[in-house]
Amino acid sequence: MTRVPRDCDVLVIGGGNAALCAAISARRSGAAVTLLEGAPRALRGGNARHSRNFRVMHPGPTPWTRGSYPAEDYRSDLDAVTDAATGAAADGTLARMLIADSAGIIDWMGRNGVRFQSGADDCLPHSRKTAFFLGGGKALVNALYTTAEGLGVAIHYDSEACALHLKDGLPSVTVGHPKGLQVVRARAVVVASGGFQANRGWLRDEWGEAADGFVIRGTPHATGTMLKALLAEGAQPVGAAGHCHMVAVDGRSPGFDAGIVTRLDGIPHGIVVNRDGRRFADEGSHTGPTRFSVWGDRVARCPGGVAFSIFDAASEARFRPSIFPAIRADGIGELAGKLGIDPAALEATVGSFNAALGSGGIGADGFAMGTEPPKTRLAAPLLVPPFGAYPVRAGVTSTCLGIRVDGKARVLRDGGQPICGVFAAGVIMAPNILGRGYLAGSAMSIGAVFGRIAGREAAAHALH
């Protein structure tokens, strides 16, 4: 790789959506910009490479969005997820900025090479709230990198920010890359390096041994090094260190970067048991898009961080298979053996579940009578061999700990005063708005809106 220059106006730490928006916007504001991406070129783009859509406010139909999504609806959707999770409202000012500025995301992205898919395309999930980019996140990331390179942003791959120095004068960063360490000084720094979900030690501090069972769905470079450094410098934390956005994934997923494809679709159709062979939650409680995250959370709290989705040949036809082959057997006991579960325990669980359905019957909506815990929807006995199973683990999208920023994306200290020359954008400041909550397409919108603000403000600060 080329050597990282010693000095620049704006140093962007991170290589995902927020970092790219910050770099492009700082460069367009006239600053000399250097961007540090921890990943190699082929795997660049942070978690944005696995993303798919922006949540955008729009007053009426556009070529890329259906219907309308007024600011009030956006706000109430935000409040619903943040309130439900924390009881604490999101930062009202930042939320209003997000909503207002989200209306310009599609246009800005379009001018920077990103293409969107027609909102009327019936291949897309029906959504009036989000716009889908053509080809998904990696296509978006490719386009933004091409634009940034064309504008003259100095992009450095395999370059991890290891330490942040704010003590004397200009901020500087120690950069680790395959050729060694180097210190880069800048007039302003934009930190857009995401959460800390790829830091197993930190996860273990928060979750105990259960963290060892977690699968990380995104980049292995989200180690939280800069997040920790900023907290050590006195930045004010927001969100919750002990919370993650999680979904239920096939337990055989690779440890990092498997993105969307290892999500398990069919959990509500069968039963779910822990490693002791016991049911522990209502499989029918969530059958819509929330089922993924609900089960992520539940499985994260299971002993060993693992559970098993069990189904029979009849129910298997009703959902999309995993990309990994189902573990199959002609009998429940045999299946338990293959899963490493006590066969007698699993046989007892399935036997009593089937018996309850047989005697109590199945009510409206597939409500199973007399099972404990209940199964409130899609209840059906497991009778038709071969029986199948998928191991289930919690797949972490990102952590929910961030740092406080103001409307100029400046990082704030505990007392509320900004840290001079340090800005933040993307998932590292998303908890200001989302708390512990999650709303499809909102993290990408936060990255786009506050990335642009951070880039612009950092350039203004640097060129002041």
Among the listed residues 68, 127, 142, 174, the single contact to another protein using CB under 8 A:
142
Which tokens sit at 85?
């999770």
Q: Cα(349)–Cα(307) distance, rounded to whole angstroms?
A: 14
Among the listed residues 146, 232, 303, 340, the single contact to another protein using CB under 8 A:
146
327 near another protein, rule: CB under 8 A: no
Scanning the structure block, which residue is given the tokens 């045999």? 334
Which residues touch 402 (CB under 8 Å, ≥6 apart)?
A: 195, 227, 237, 238, 239, 424, 427, 428, 429, 430, 431, 432
> Shortest approach of another protein to residue 134 CB, angstroms?
5
> Shortest approach of another protein to residue 117 CB, angstroms?
4
Q: Cα(332)–Cα(310) distance, rounded to whole angstroms?
A: 9
450 near another protein, rule: CB under 8 A: no
Closer CB to another protein, 55 or 436, in the complex: 55
Which tokens sit at 78?
């935000």
Q: Cα(85)–Cα(82) distance, rounded to whole angstroms?
A: 5
Among the listed residues 102, 117, 274, 399, the single contact to another protein using CB under 8 A:
117
**Binding range to another protein, per CB under 8 A, among 45-53, 266-274, 342-350, 355-363:** 45-53
> Shortest approach of another protein to residue 145 CB, angstroms?
7
Q: Cα(118)–Cα(125) distance, rounded to whole angstroms?
A: 12
62 near another protein, rule: CB under 8 A: no
Chain centre distance of CA 264: 16
> Shortest approach of another protein to residue 12 CB, angstroms?
19
427 near another protein, rule: CB under 8 A: no
Q: Estimate the crossing angle of helix 332-339 against helix 343-360, to 10 degrees.
A: 140
> Shortest approach of another protein to residue 304 CB, angstroms?
23
258 near another protein, rule: CB under 8 A: yes
Which tokens sit at 415?
């007392």
Three-class SS state of 235: strand
Closer CB to another protein, 389 or 422, in the complex: 389
**Residues found near another protein in the complex (CB under 8 A):** 40, 42-43, 49-50, 52, 113, 115, 117-118, 121, 123-124, 132, 134-139, 142-143, 145-146, 150, 254, 257-263, 317, 320-323
